[in-house]
Amino acid sequence: MLGPLCSPDRQSSLHMILAILTLHFVLGIAIVVAGDRLGRRGFAVAALAPALTLIWLVTRAGEAIDGRPTVQTIEWVPQLRLAIDLRLDALGVVMVGLVSGIGLMVCVYALGYFSHPKPGTGRLAGLLTAFAGAMLGVVLADHLLTLFVFWELTSITSYLLIGNDDKNPRARDAALSAILITGAGGLALLAGLVLIGQSAGTYRLSELSSTTPVGATVSVGLVLVLAGAFTKSAQVPFAGWLPGAMVAPTPISTYLHAATMVKAGVYLVARLSPVLADVGIWRIVILVGSAATMVIGGWRALRQHDLKLLLAYGTVSQLGFMMLLFGMGAYDLAQAGVIVLIAHGAFKAALFMVVGVIDHEAGTRDVRKLHGFGAGWRPIVVVTVLAASSMAGFPPLVGFIAKEKGLDAALHGSFVGATFLVVAVVAGSILTFAYSARFVLGVLGRLGTADHDPISRQVDPPTWTFVAPAVLLAAFSILAGLAPVLVDDTVRAATTSLYPDSTPRTVVLWAGFNTAFALSIVIIGAGTALVALRRPVARAQARFHDAVAPIPDSDRVFWAIVTGTLRVAKRSTRIVQNGSLPIYLMVILSVAAIAPLIPAVGALDGLPDFVSTWAHLPIAAVIVIAALGAAAVRRRIAAALMLGAVGFAMAAFYVVQGAPDLALTQLAIEVLATVLFVLVLRFLPRQFTDPKTTVTSAIRLVIATVVGASVFVLALVSSAARDDVTQQPVSAEMLERSVPDGKGSNVVNVILVDFRGLDTLGEITVLVVAGLGMVSLGRLSRRSRTDGGSPFERLPVVDTSANLLYGSILVLSLYFLFAGHNQPGGGFVGGLTAGAAISLRYVAGGISAVRNALRLKPWTVLGGGLLISATTAVVPLVAGQQLLEHADLEADLPLLGTLKVTSALPFDVGVYLVVIGIVLMAYEAFGDDAESDGEQRSGAPAPAEVVGR
């Protein structure tokens, strides 16, 4: 289990990473199973997982920050370089801290939020835990494919979380939108990761940094990877699903759409940028796409009345910001990115929690309906101001440090597009400042309108446990801002883990009067102006949106694609799936006949002999005439008898061909099949009364002819191909080994019960299933009746001769069974012969005579046979040999002489019983009884007793 990467000193915690992940999934599933029995208490149980993760993180974080990551490798398919590689480095510490830290807060918060839980709340807690496990997997995976698996797990669990309220059509639509967009991105990501992994020669993230993958493959691969990252992190043009996902309960939105899942794309870009930023169009795509995301997200956030939607669009904007910082491939920008990652997690989670608290207490989060809160709400107001200031980049909060650092690094950027980056970040930050201010004003009630009653002032303040998580997060925002030394080590180590050769500078609150600070002043000034002039700004925005309304946005395009696909699917289904079996068959058969015909005609190389033996001629004549007759006649019984005639002629053909076993089998089958046909067809109308539809008949005739022609050509081509093969046929060895290894001289039987015994075992299983199906269908309505059908007359002549013949035919069948290993015969032939004997009993005495014959239930015989064969096959396994391994036993018995018993015999006995069983089943299913005097004579139980149960 231990990979080569694991040095001995880390072995103590080797399996801890895997244990942590497993804990999340097991706990999550357990909570889902417990479901509403736990209700909101599910979140208390769920809190266990992030709490334990944090404890573990504390024990490992020191080493990871010192540059000694914890590594775990579980080899899977070394030849394919497939392994489950897990690794905790400094950036991992940051991400795990975010995922589990905020996860813990959310669990506590949810306890307050779901004070009146609806059905499904318990499931929500379980899914949240499983999601957290998947997210931890993403940030701990060191193998690109391991990462991908967890990535998809986050998509799936988030789909379930968004759509948890499955009775709400909006939740379903939002979940569908999320899974379709992130799922499509996931597929692109997989392709991209494989392309990059193959080009780089390694799938390990930690080894990727020492490679320089270049070339067209990588250029294509990175675009696909970006498609995955952009869909996951809601970048333009794939941002539409994120605001829609706000239909989820606020604790879920807090966790998924603020702190964790949407950051997966950012995280992936952060990991790959050091290697890929200079390759292909990586940087251009991110510059354009994420700058647009940052500005458009901020612009739309400014227009929202719903506080939660404001935050959603704000998140889109911030994700664009992070993408820009991490995607350029510059270490100082990435360092700013790490700070934003931390700062954003704290302030955005706090703000979402505030929204949830307001919604929970006031029943709305529409700023137009909020008119400020009473005195008890002061903690919430303080949290709002602090967290929003951090979001706005206002000193002395940690958000200010992050933005300042980003601006500074962008100003010093040495890549093409650095200036554009500065402009984009400044524009986005102005909007961010403005919507942050709008959020604060909304909470303070300054945006409330007169046409709504100022009810919010009378609303009771929330309990302190409900507010505590948000308070803690806001406190972190201010503490980390005032004392950046708290996060400095971690941030620098995380940066070095991405850029090993870099020397990141210390994180400080005050970096002096520089250009970045001047830009911050501009941002704050312009942002304040936007807020002060909010009415004209809103009017201008509305005019702008009215003007661009005809242009479909990405959301409308997405749904047009979805509905269009469904419409096309339904139309084509109507044509293709029309419900008519003949039409389905016509299509299938035409393709099956024509497709191979085209190459086969080309391969046809002259005709072989017309006949090999003249004995074939009369047989062929019978088969052809009978087959055509079966296709043409309009009487049911006649058609069945024609089929029987074909069968008897086939038996003759087998004799000529040198296949006595086949001939015997075919003969016995024909007898039984004919009886079966008669048993069933006697119920059905005498004639086929198909309406004569000439057009379809002509089409059928054409298809039938084409199929025939195709078979003709294929038969000639394939048999010619066989003659060309110079190697010995497989059966040559079977002929040689039959006696020494199989202990039987009938090679066909040895093949059936020994060389290819597993096939036979499968085959008799099919027979058993068919028999069970048949008897279930046949007996379905019989239970309601007292008798098995209309009794028929007993004839003394038949009675007597049947009694005489029954025994002798049964003996013959046993002979076939026991001699079959060395002479023509075997289990199949024996069983079918016994079936013929049973048929005689039926003819004489009806179903009760058949029942009397064996006194065993048909299904007992059928299942018993299968059991015997299967046991024979499995016994060698117990003895440590192979399945169906041959064994034999020789014994001298008095009177009988030397008896040789091979393991093939019990196997064949099983086959024998299965075949008898199916014949018994057939009579049980379709048979009638003879007149009742027969019962009296034989003393059999009345059939009603047996059947009527």
Partner 1 sequence: MTVLVAFVAAVLFGCGTWLLMQRRLTRIIIGIGLLGHGANLLLVAGGGRPGRAPIIGADGAGEFADPLPQALALTAIVITFGITAFLLGLGYRSWQLTQDDQVEDDVEDLLIARLEARGSSSEPTPPEHLPATDFEVTRPEVDPRSESTP
Contacts with partner 1 in 582-621 (CB under 8 A)? 582, 585-586, 589, 607-613, 616-617, 620
Does residue 700 bind partner 1 (CB under 8 A)? yes
Does residue 333 bind partner 1 (CB under 8 A)? no
30, 34, 703, 901: residue in contact with partner 1 (rule CB under 8 A): 703
* Choices 6-14, 512-520, 761-769, 883-891 (CB under 8 A): range interacting with partner 1: 761-769
Going from the C-alpha of 700 to that of each of 567, 645, 688, 694, the distances in angstroms are 32, 24, 17, 10
**Nearest approach, Cβ of residue 381 and partner 1 (Å):** 20
Does residue 307 bind partner 1 (CB under 8 A)? yes
**Nearest approach, Cβ of residue 796 and partner 1 (Å):** 30
Inter-helix orientation angle 48-65/121-140, to 10°: 10
R_g of the chain, CA atoms, integer Å: 40
**Nearest approach, Cβ of residue 431 and partner 1 (Å):** 17
123 or 204: CB nearest partner 1: 123
Does residue 560 bind partner 1 (CB under 8 A)? yes
Which residues sit opposite 902 in a β-bridge?
Answer: 888
178 or 397: CB nearest partner 1: 178
325, 752, 909, 920: residue in contact with partner 1 (rule CB under 8 A): 752
Instruction: Report DSSP letters for 496-555, one per residue.
Output: HHHSTT--PPPP-S---S-HHHHHHHHHHHHHHHHHHTHHHHHHHHHHHHHHHTTS--HH
Using CB under 8 A as the criterion, what x/- string covers residues 767-786 for binding partner 1? x--xx-xxxxxx-xx-----
Inter-helix orientation angle 904-926/796-819, to 10°: 150
Using CB under 8 A as the criterion, what x/- string covers residues 211-250 for binding partner 1? --------------------------------xx-xx-xx
**Could you tell me how far CA 362 lies from the centroid of its own chain?**
42
Which residues contact residue 757 at a Cβ distance below 8 angstroms, ignoring those fewer than 6 apart? Answer: 873, 884, 904, 907
As a whole number of angstroms, the distance between CA 379 and CA 364 comes to 19
189 or 676: CB nearest partner 1: 676
83 or 669: CB nearest partner 1: 669
**Which residue bears the tokens 């006697």?**
682
Paired tokens of 567: 């419409």
Going from the C-alpha of 202 to that of each of 210, 278, 329, 732, the distances in angstroms are 10, 19, 20, 49
Does residue 701 bind partner 1 (CB under 8 A)? yes
Which residues contact residue 343 at a Cβ distance below 8 angstroms, ignoring those fewer than 6 apart? Answer: 390, 397, 398, 399, 401, 402, 477, 480
Does residue 712 bind partner 1 (CB under 8 A)? yes
User: What number of CA atoms fall less than 13 Å from residue 247's CA on the CB side?
Assistant: 24
* Choices 375-383, 453-461, 642-650, 884-892 (CB under 8 A): range interacting with partner 1: 642-650
As a whole number of angstroms, the distance between CA 776 and CA 788 comes to 14
* Choices 36-44, 597-605, 625-633, 861-869 (CB under 8 A): range interacting with partner 1: 625-633
Q: Residue 744: helix, strand or coil by DSSP?
A: coil
* Choices 298-306, 399-407, 443-451, 854-862 (CB under 8 A): range interacting with partner 1: 298-306
Q: Give, as ranges, the residues between 678 and 697 that touch partner 1 (CB under 8 A).
A: 679-681, 683-685, 688, 690
**Could you tell me how far CA 667 lies from the centroid of its own chain?**
49
User: What number of CA atoms fall less than 13 Å from residue 651's CA on the CB side?
Assistant: 16
**Which residue bears the tokens 């009978």?**
626
217, 364, 541, 803: residue in contact with partner 1 (rule CB under 8 A): 364
Using CB under 8 A as the criterion, what x/- string covers residues 338-357 for binding partner 1? ------------------x-
Residues in contact with partner 1, counted by CB under 8 A, come to a total of: 152
Tally the residues of the chain.
Answer: 949
Does residue 441 bind partner 1 (CB under 8 A)? no
468 or 709: CB nearest partner 1: 709
* Choices 123-131, 219-227, 518-526, 711-719 (CB under 8 A): range interacting with partner 1: 711-719
453, 759, 890, 931: residue in contact with partner 1 (rule CB under 8 A): 759
3 or 120: CB nearest partner 1: 120
As a whole number of angstroms, the distance between CA 182 and CA 227 comes to 9
Q: Give, as ranges, the residues between 815 and 874 that touch partner 1 (CB under 8 A).
A: 822-824, 828
581, 797, 895, 896: residue in contact with partner 1 (rule CB under 8 A): 581
11, 12, 59, 168: residue in contact with partner 1 (rule CB under 8 A): 168
Which residues sit opposite 899 in a β-bridge?
Answer: 891
As a whole number of angstroms, the distance between CA 347 and CA 342 comes to 9
Phi, psi values for residue 700, rounded to 5°: -60, -40
Q: Give, as ranges, the residues between 443 and 472 that touch partner 1 (CB under 8 A).
A: none
Does residue 659 bind partner 1 (CB under 8 A)? yes
* Choices 37-45, 223-231, 376-384, 569-577 (CB under 8 A): range interacting with partner 1: 569-577
* 256: DSSP letter: I
513 or 610: CB nearest partner 1: 610
Q: Residue 688: is it exposed, middle or buried by C-beta count within 10 angstroms (0-12/13-18/19+)? A: exposed
Does residue 365 bind partner 1 (CB under 8 A)? yes
Q: Give, as ranges, the residues between 175 and 204 that touch partner 1 (CB under 8 A).
A: 176-177
**Nearest approach, Cβ of residue 562 and partner 1 (Å):** 6
Does residue 551 bind partner 1 (CB under 8 A)? no
Q: Give, as ranges, the residues between 368 and 407 that touch partner 1 (CB under 8 A).
A: 369
* Choices 203-211, 361-369, 512-520, 793-801 (CB under 8 A): range interacting with partner 1: 361-369
187, 292, 673, 867: residue in contact with partner 1 (rule CB under 8 A): 673
Which residues contact residue 261 at a Cβ distance below 8 angstroms, ignoring those fewer than 6 apart? Answer: 131, 135, 154, 158, 232, 255
Using CB under 8 A as the criterion, what x/- string covers residues 910-929 for binding partner 1? -----x--x--xx--xx---
Paired tokens of 762: 């499968």
**Are the C-beta atoms of 447 and 364 separated by less than 8 Å?**
no
Using CB under 8 A as the criterion, what x/- string covers residues 787-826 for binding partner 1? -----------------------------------xxx--
Does residue 427 bind partner 1 (CB under 8 A)? no
Element (H, E) at 773: helix 757-779
Going from the C-alpha of 588 to that of each of 449, 535, 580, 592, 612, the distances in angstroms are 68, 68, 13, 6, 34
125, 354, 523, 676: residue in contact with partner 1 (rule CB under 8 A): 676
* Beta-strand relationship, 897-902 and 888-893: antiparallel
Does residue 359 bind partner 1 (CB under 8 A)? yes
63, 142, 366, 928: residue in contact with partner 1 (rule CB under 8 A): 366
Element (H, E) at 85: strand 82-88
Does residue 409 bind partner 1 (CB under 8 A)? no
